[in-house]
Structure 1
Amino acid sequence: MARSRLESCLLICYNGSSMYNAGMQQGMKQGMVATASMQQFMRMLQASNMELRTLTTQAVAANPALEELSPPDEGEREDTSPDSAASRRRDFMMDSLTEAPSLVAHLEEQVRRSALGDKVEQAALLLVQQLDSHGCFCEPPTDIARQNGWSKSLLDKALRAVRDLDPAGVGAMDLRESLMLQLHREGEDDSLAMRLLQNCWQQLVQHRYEDAARELGESELAVAGAARRISRLNPDPGAGFAREANSVIEPDVLVTRKGNELEVSLTGINVPRLALSAEYREMMAKQADKPEVRRYLSRCFSEGRELIKAIAQRQETILSVAQVIAKQQSAFFLHGPASLVPLRMEEVADIAGLHVSTISRAVNGKFLKCDWGVYELRHFFTADLGDAVSPEAAQARIRELIEREDPRKPFSDAKLEQLLAAEGICIARRTVAKYRDLLRILPASMRKL
């Protein structure tokens, strides 16, 4: 039975339909192998645990020398016979046909077809991977560029490439910018709708068309028409794509307090355990008289070993980065979220002895659980807002100021900006409004008694 499966694999391989065909010749140079190994490690490191699960399932489906082991705590081991493995491969292929793609996967496919050149393509792919399920960036593209050592020219080219993808509106920082990108795609840069978005966003969302008309020097009727035009745009470019909004977030890292000490460990949740098949190793030893079969199986085992090694390196790197984060943000873990301090990826890279782009990949889509909840690892990298004040501390101060305000004369965002600046917390009014929204506090006009 195992022999017939091998013959089937060989038939697929030599018909050119397998990942193990062209480009994997025996005479591949050592440097090329090393480059391929590094690229595979980077893909594994960049992937979230769920994405890693998909990648390894694909690898097991294509490589008969690989098999997935049952989790250590599982009561019953899976059937790892060749027939069962083949059945799982068929199930995976059928699931892949029926499952809606994610927005990121849809955009990545377009990037790879765009012939952008290696550097721009890699930068564009990394930008795409920083988008949320609505198509907006989780952090400013300039920060992503700085973390990866990109030039302004490279960022501009990659960002332009992302914003040219479909659906229109992806690659923005927020809803307003997404709508502006959609108007730009339609050639409406000089339209009243664009001016309304650029200059009168608050008036637009509050339907204060008279105020907007006065500011823009237009009639209220014209402004209402522009608002109708905007309402026909897509407020959520990610709609219609697969999302994980309702899935439970499983942490990758666990930080536990032991008195005044912190213990950092990996949970291993959803990280597949792969092994090389003993059955196929024995089979290869019996194929001395069939050099083509031996070469094929040898390639399978070599690629299987590289994948297992890449996953192990991924786990070691994530743990190393998490340990540095825990040390640098120890006040957060010991005393609470308000104690978060400014931290840059460059600092962690220097301490861990890694490149900053490796840090960026290691924290991408990874989550940490501690006494205060579950946080994305990127949460612990904050820009300096003043005298060592983090966004969480700034938000805490905004809440305190609003709680103490006169309800008959609530503080506007501009006033809050002034009060914070007087305390050495220098942030823009727009940032104040963003933090207030995150705190679920209404604007001053709606807090007034």
Structure 2
Amino acid sequence: MKLRVSQTQTTKQKFSSTLRGWLPILQANLDTLVETLEPFVEENPFISVKAGSEIPEKPFEKKNIFRESAKTSVSDTIEALTLDKKSLFQTLYEQVNPPLFPTEKSQRIAYEIIENINAEGYFEADALVEIAHTLNVKETEVEKIRQRFAYLEPLGVGAQDVKEAFLFQLQDLTLENTLYEMAEKLILNFDVIESFGKEPLFHEALNIIKRFHNPPAIDFLEEEKEVVPDIFIYTIEGAIEVRLNDTYYPEVIIDTEGVDESNSFVSQKLKDAKDLIDALEMRKATLYKIGLMIIEYQYDFFFGKAIKPMKLKDLADDLGRNPSTISRAIAGKYLSCARGVIPLKQFFATAVEEDISNSAIKEYMIELVKHENKQKPLSDIKLLSLIEKQFNVKMVRRTITKYRQQFNIASSSERKKLYTLVG
């Protein structure tokens, strides 16, 4: 049954007359809402704004996100874990796919390895035995999978120490044998590196090593922009519940002590203050209804499926709003659920055709690669042909190449080499 929200004509008129003057409030991100209200406060001597409390503790622990995502397809995971800035763990998680991790077993081991990589990008060595015990596999199997992290981004991630991280990064370079061997020798003998100062190619090799990242995840140690979700989606025993982030909303306080409310100036300012409060409440109401409609259109997504095609106009029609108003309402807004913190705009997948989303095509492309002939991997031209036939659409090869690169899938020639390597 559709979750359509019926409204009276009076409510619509109130929305139009009030919110038209407060569109910046609707458009503002939750974390900048207090700043957006400042001009209104400066013009009104009878109101003040109290900032909301800090964002509540995230109800979805990182480990639970990974566990849940492990049960879904690769494309679901990548669609779901979209943040303002991807974390190290999300970046790694997106790369756990064929050809480096071609089987469900290898992927399970990779997920566990990720869980035991610290913020600097190093693997906690004592976790190897625990992983083997947890998954009931041999320690050598875990180590074999860990070695494949040498081919992931950021380079060096998954190494046990600085030397190994540098060796991982060295493997990614194409160097002449003599220069490669000198760089490798310097890394292995890092504690006495000065003793090689007079050897040929010492300075060239040292300059290469100086460019390596230490720690491997140094780029991820920078302070990330805080993403404050407007909407929380909870899935409890098969039921879905929508909640707003009420605790973060600023509070508008009206102070009329000692003033004559019958005065025309005071009366007008009090009306403006109440309109401001109405605008904040209508912002909440609009986003709550958007949350309900996202559940209606994307219900299966919250239980592990892919995002479906969803048009902004469809949502606007169902809510009785102008598409431009809904566009403002979702701009820069986030939804938090068991599958990650997701921009609302992510649910409005661009459709290649009326009922075909980019995510569906990406899903099919990944399945093709997953089950391809390891001796003869599918070229982008062949992938294009199969996709066009499956969905009855016309596309260009560079689009397939772009999709493949988005998922860190190597070219057919590179995949063939990797299949040989991990076979």
**TM-score normalised to structure 1 length:** 0.47
Which structure 2 residues correspond to residues 161-310 of structure 1 after superposition, within 5 A? Answer: 246-268=224-246, 270-277=248-255, 281-285=256-260, 294-310=263-279
Asked if the contact 2:31/2:228 (under 8 Å) is kept, the reply is no
State the SS of the aligned residue for 1:368. Answer: strand
- 1-structure distance, mates of 2:413, 2:361: 22
Q: Structure 2 unaligned runs (5+)? A: 1-13, 56-83, 86-221, 418-423
Secondary structure of 2:310's partner?
Answer: coil
What SS does structure 2 have at the residue aligned with 1:284? coil
Instruction: Write the distance in 2 (CA, Å) between the matches of 1:301 and 1:389.
Output: 51
| Paired position in structure 2 for 1:54 | 35
The structure 2 residue matched to 1:324, chosen from 275, 289, 293, is 293
**Following TM superposition, by how much is the alpha carbon of 1:344 offset from its aligned partner in structure 2, in angstroms?**
1.1
Measure, in 2, the Cα distance between the counterparts of 1:438 and 1:269. Answer: 36
Question: How many equivalent residue pairs?
Answer: 239
CA offsets, 1:330-371, max 9 Å, x none?
A: 11112x142x22111222122222222222122111111112
> Counterpart of 2:246 in 1: which secondary structure?
coil
The 1:359–1:70 alpha-carbon spacing in structure 2 relative to 1, beyond 3 Å, is closer
1:44, 1:314 within 8 Å by CA — same for their partners in 2?
A: yes
Give CA deviations for 1:215-253 in whole Å, capped at 9, x if unaligned: xxxxxxxxxxxxxxxxxxxxxxxxxxxxx9921212111
Displacement after TM superposition at 1:70 (Å): 5.7
C-alpha change, 1:328 and 1:410, in structure 2 (3 Å) is same
What CA distance in whole angstroms lies between the structure 1 residues aligned with 2:280 and 2:373?
Answer: 57
Aligned equivalent of 1:141: none
Q: 1:357 to 1:298 in 2, by over 3 A?
A: same
Query: Unpaired segments of 5 or more residues in structure 1?
Result: 1-32, 75-131, 134-243, 289-293
Aligned to 1:37: 18
For the residues of structure 1 that align with 2:278 and 2:413, how far apart are their CA atoms?
58
Quick check: 1:400 aligned with 2:375?
no
1:56–1:272 Cα contact (<8 Å) kept: no
Please, which of 31, 34, 45 is the counterpart of residue 64 of structure 1? 45
Structure 1 position 350 matched with structure 2 position 317: yes
Task: Show CA shifts across 1:396-445 (max 9, x none).
Answer: 22222223334554323222111112222634433322222221223335
Matched-pair contact (CA < 8 Å) for 1:41–1:310? yes
Counterparts in 2 of 1:251 and 1:34: CA distance versus 1, 3 Å: closer
CA deviation after TM superposition for structure 1 residue 319, in Å: 0.7
Q: Which has the higher contact order (CA 8 A, sep 6+)?
A: 2
Q: Which amino acid aligns with 2:411?
A: P
Percent identity, please.
29
Task: Evaluate the alpha carbon distance shift between residue 446 and residue 61 of structure 1 in structure 2; reply closer, same or farther with a 3 A threshold.
Answer: farther
CA drift at 1:59: 2.9
